[in-house]
Amino acid sequence: MMHNPWPSLTTAQNWPLEVQAGQLLMPAAFINDTEDEIRILEGYIRNHHVGGLCFFHSRASAATNFEGKKEIPHNPDSLGTLRALIQRYQKAAPYPLLMAIDAEWGLAMRIENGEAYPYALALGALEDQDPLLYQTGLRMAADCREAGLHWNLAPVADVNNNPGNPVIGYRSFGSRPESVAQKALALARGMQDGGVLVCAKHFPGHGNTDTDSHLELPRLGQARAELEATEFPPFRTLIGQGVDAVMTGHLAVPALDPTGTPSSLSAPMIQGVLRNAMGFKGAVITDALNMHAVSRIYPEPGEVALRALLAGNDMLCFVEDLPAAHARIVARAGKDRIRDAFQKVWALKEKAFNPKAAPVLPEKDPATLRKELAAASLSPLGAPQPLPSGPGAPAFTLIAAGAGLDPFVQALEHPAVAERLRWDLKRPDASLPLPAHKDVLLALQPPSLKPPGRFGMSEAAVAAIIQLRRTHRVQLCHFGNPYALQVLGAGGAEGTLLAYQPLPECQQQAAAFYRGEAPAPGMLPVSLNLESP
């Protein structure tokens, strides 16, 4: 719903303080909520002057409820539900709502029938100036706009230089700061030119941690000079090129705030480093305030939202206990802090609802873009080779290890493949079928993209892969997080091909490589230690 005429900032600055304070609140909106839950949120929108909503798939899959603690509902038309909810919530709003979502790799990050594009780590395999990065941003923006969304809380600007990172990993463009900066910038430019707001996250850098801030407070222990060299460059680049917003992470960084206060609640980090040292003038948004890294520090209803605002954040994402948060902010934040934050949030709304230029439209449809990205990101490690053919060529056993690899198996029609086997990587015992041939092509998709629990592989499955590598000549095609290779000591494989994820286009492109019909031009975006375990 468009609210016309668009109020000027001069007009909006005269609104009552409680209205301006409400505009700083961005509660979570769940696509698969019940009717009662939807009506409660509509009441908050009407009665507390809410400024925006951040959409998640369901309460079971969002923030601290993720990782299978609750059963996640399946909605084959989450996208249609999202569109309807956006219209409904806008009708309930006295002032237009900023509609936001985490769509780092496309709407499929939150929506079953949303478009999916390669993860940031796969895009990290491209050349820094590859025009496909910009086109991906344009395409993501078009998908968001068509759904009624104004703000994609991306790109991730974290430099992932910790292989054990349980929360960033594949969401980062890689471990090289300047490359991360250039790729994040290209994606951000595409999204901004495509007509959506963007957000660099998670300041001051969540890459070099081994703790998940959804569950507890990570600590970033580097000295200031190391932070300047490693964590800060992507944020400096994006800030210098006009990024709309920066998201503060929930991280203790003693080099920046010796008290150990999380960065999202730290005035020295937000006002001292982000504002003063880096010169950022735009809106600062918190990471989800229900995350245990901060919510457990201030359990009183509404207190963590107040503290985040006082520290220098402008938009409060996933604010809980909304009536209490609103009341505390009005009573205790102070007129100047509320109005300064309101001006920054209003500038975002001005850009979203009253744009100065028409959006740039993407050149490629989603399927074509995925195919081109899959081709450009396919990366060699060691010396992977197409399957041999002709007289005297060895016979291969193809092992599909993991779920969802049918597109690869079906696309790999090659005379060298004489046997096809399936391995269940979650199987707790070692009774996996053994190959009949000395030469093996192992297509591997670990069940999880995250390091805990050996990327979801059972101990028996890991042992079987390691043993296979020792007793056979193994060509490995990996459809997962490259860091999983460290669990396998995969450096001993005859050659490894990295496809990064099991999107059908990635599987088909990998099959084309083994048929001898496609190159592998990508470059591994992280450093790996592949010594045998």
Evaluate whether 197 touches 152 at the Cβ level (below 8 Å).
yes
pLDDT of residue 182: 98
Domain ranges of the chain: 21-368, 378-514
pLDDT of residue 492: 64
Q: Do the first three CATH levels of 21-368 and 378-514 match, i.e. the same topology? A: no
- List beta partners, residue 516: none
d(CA 210, CA 343): 36
Secondary structure element (H or E) that encloses residue 174, with its range: none
What's the whole-model pTM score? 0.95
Record the tokens describing residue 475, joined without a space: 């060509």
Domain 378-514 indexed as CATH 2.60.40? no
Evaluate whether 129 touches 185 at the Cβ level (below 8 Å).
no
Here the contacts of 448-454 (C-beta below 8 Å, separation 24 or greater) are: 449/119, 449/169, 449/170, 449/480, 449/481, 449/501, 450/166, 450/167, 450/169, 450/481, 451/163, 451/164, 451/165, 451/166, 451/169, 451/481, 451/483, 451/484, 452/166, 454/484, 454/487
d(CA 24, CA 306): 11
| Segment 312-332 mean pLDDT | 98
pLDDT of residue 371: 98
pLDDT of residue 205: 96
As a three-state string, the secondary structure of 232-256 is: HHHHHHHHHCCCCEEEECCCECCCC
pLDDT of residue 1: 37
Instruction: Report the mean per-residue pLDDT for the chain.
Output: 94
Q: Measure Cα distances from 509 to 211, 312, 375, 432, 515 in Å.
A: 34, 47, 6, 27, 10
Helix (H) and strand (E) counts in the chain: 20, 15
d(CA 437, CA 420): 11
pLDDT of residue 212: 82
| Segment 402-408 mean pLDDT | 97
Residue matched to tokens 């449809």: 365
Residue matched to tokens 């919530």: 89
| Segment 56-79 mean pLDDT | 80
Cα radius of gyration rounded to whole Å, the chain = 24
d(CA 475, CA 23): 56
pLDDT at 4 over 50: no
d(CA 450, CA 455): 5
Angle at 172 (CA atoms; ends 487, 373), nearest 5 degrees: 95
3-state secondary structure of 10: helix
pLDDT of residue 64: 55
Evaluate whether 178 touches 114 at the Cβ level (below 8 Å).
no
Record the tokens describing residue 165, joined without a space: 């990172």
d(CA 91, CA 80): 17
| Confidence category of residue 2, pLDDT binned at 50, 70, 90 | very low
**74 is a catalytic site residue:** no
**48 is a catalytic site residue:** no
d(CA 507, CA 118): 12
Residue matched to tokens 């670990």: 446
| Confidence category of residue 70, pLDDT binned at 50, 70, 90 | confident
Q: Which of 130, 143, 287, 321 is catalytic?
A: 287
d(CA 338, CA 353): 22
pLDDT of residue 533: 56
| Confidence category of residue 213, pLDDT binned at 50, 70, 90 | confident
Q: Comparing C-alpha atoms, which of 330, 334, 333 is closest to residue 48? A: 330
d(CA 118, CA 107): 12
**pLDDT one-digit tens code per residue, 25-63:** 999 999 999 999 999 999 999 999 999 999 999 998 875
Record the tokens describing residue 144, joined without a space: 């968001």
pLDDT of residue 532: 59
Picking from 27-36, 293-302, 515-524, which range would have the lowest pLDDT averaged per residue?
Answer: 293-302
Q: Which of 150, 202, 206, 214 is catalytic?
A: 214
Strands 98-101 and 52-56: parallel
What dotted CATH number matches 21-368?
3.20.20.300
pLDDT at 68 over 60: no
**pLDDT one-digit tens code per residue, 144-166:** 999 999 999 999 999 999 999 98
d(CA 60, CA 72): 5
| Segment 267-275 mean pLDDT | 98
Q: Within 13 Å and on the Cβ side, how many CA atoms surround 230?
A: 19
Angle at 291 (CA atoms; ends 210, 306), nearest 5 degrees: 125
**pLDDT one-digit tens code per residue, 360-390:** 999 999 999 999 999 999 999 999 999 999 8
Angle at 248 (CA atoms; ends 524, 329), nearest 5 degrees: 160
Q: Comparing C-alpha atoms, which of 290, 345, 277 is closest to residue 313? A: 345
| Confidence category of residue 429, pLDDT binned at 50, 70, 90 | confident
- Please state, as a whole number, how many other Cβ atoms lie within 10 Å of the Cβ of residue 429: 10
Q: Within 13 Å and on the Cβ side, how many CA atoms surround 429?
A: 3
